[in-house]
Structure 1
């Protein structure tokens, strides 16, 4: 009877050590993954910020080009109103290539639009680049949020595994055998649940 009790106690202790060891490894792994995804989050946020800065620079470039075209177009309108063909031609020769495309389309359309600037053909330099960079910044920002959530998910698992360690350690206290077994069983249940959840998470090495 005594030998049986001692064997049962030893088996219980072995299971406790096994649970503690595995849980310690899983906790360390979760900490590692949380750190890696935190790093990926920082990189994505940095890339998003860089793209935003570049997009702003391209938008300034487009606005400057638009302002220049507007100034030239204003002079063209004045030359037309004053009926000065020579000045009109002089101004037209100074149209930028981007404005020239829109102006020609406006002329071909019978000048029905409210001006060349309303034409779809008018795309000042920097406009497309700004749109592409803004889209890239939005994508990297969204990815950063995803990476942040992944890091948080792994961090939350460390809390669950800490509970497993706590319950396992508690089961080794001098308590009634049914209580010790119940605590260990609960610890194993939480540990298995945590492991199954962890297997659904993406891994970053």
Structure 2
């Protein structure tokens, strides 16, 4: 009888130790998953903020590019119109009127006009049709529009990257939430084998989630 009582007591002690070990592992797992979930959620918010910032820059640079492009088009139209009036006056021998239009040329246009005259356009059939076709012709607003457009494209790409990275952290947060659910579910079972199995699955998922947290870029 005493032997059976001792055996029963030893078996009960072993079961209690296994239960304590499982509880300790669950506590450790919950602590790790809590930290990992908090960090993953924080990074999700940070990348969402980065995405909004970059997309905001994209809209701003697009607007500036459109403004510069509109101004560039207006200046090119002015250059072409003024040159047409000059050409008409020159062809009619109205030198004073031609000189008046020449004085109205924009400073950016003058180097191209001077270079065009050097091609002897009135006698050289191979000369460009106008100064606007010369390599010397430069429109600062057109260059600015192009630069703003490039910056807008870069900001959009960065915003897209931020969105993708935020989505990764969001999916990882869902994975870690699954770990919390399984761990809480395991605590409902009294059968140690079932409890340990759920704990093992949770540990594997947690390891994956922690790996993602450690390897994903941070904002």
TM-score, length of structure 2 as denominator length? 0.87
Query: Of the candidates 110, 120, 130, which is equivalent to residue 115 of structure 1?
Result: 130
Larger radius of gyration: 2
Check whether the contact 1:31–1:154 (CA below 8 A) recurs between aligned residues.
yes
Match of 2:203 in 1: 188
Q: Can you list the C-alpha shifts for 1:37-85, whole angstroms capped at 9, x where unaligned? A: 1111111111111111111221122122112111111101211321323
Check whether the contact 1:61–1:125 (CA below 8 A) recurs between aligned residues.
no
Answering whether residue 51 of structure 2 is matched by residue 41 of structure 1, we say: yes
TM-score, length of structure 1 as denominator length? 0.92
Match of 2:158 in 1: 143
Match of 1:8 in 2: 18
Query: Of the candidates 61, 69, 92, which is equivalent to residue 82 of structure 1?
Result: 92
Name whichever of 166-175 and 15-24 sits farther off. 166-175
Query: Of the candidates 142, 160, 163, which is equivalent to residue 127 of structure 1?
Result: 142
In 2: Cα distance, 1:119 partner to 1:178 partner:
84
Name stretches of at least 5 consecutive residues in structure 2 with no aligned partner. Answer: 1-10, 122-126
In 2: Cα distance, 1:124 partner to 1:16 partner:
69
Query: Of the candidates 105, 118, 137, which is equivalent to residue 115 of structure 2?
Result: 105
Query: Of the candidates 158, 180, 185, which is equivalent to residue 165 of structure 1?
Result: 180
Match of 2:70 in 1: 60
In 1: Cα distance, 2:215 partner to 2:31 partner:
22
Answering whether residue 210 of structure 2 is matched by residue 200 of structure 1, we say: no
SS at match of 2:83: helix
Name whichever of 176-185 and 19-28 sits farther off. 176-185
Tell me how far 1:89 sits from its aligned partner: 2.3
Name whichever of 119-128 and 133-142 sits farther off. 119-128
Q: Indicate the RMSD between aligned Cα atoms, in angstroms.
A: 1.5
Check whether the contact 2:19–2:192 (CA below 8 A) recurs between aligned residues.
no
Check whether the contact 1:35–1:151 (CA below 8 A) recurs between aligned residues.
yes
Answering whether residue 105 of structure 2 is matched by residue 95 of structure 1, we say: yes
In 2: Cα distance, 1:199 partner to 1:157 partner:
11
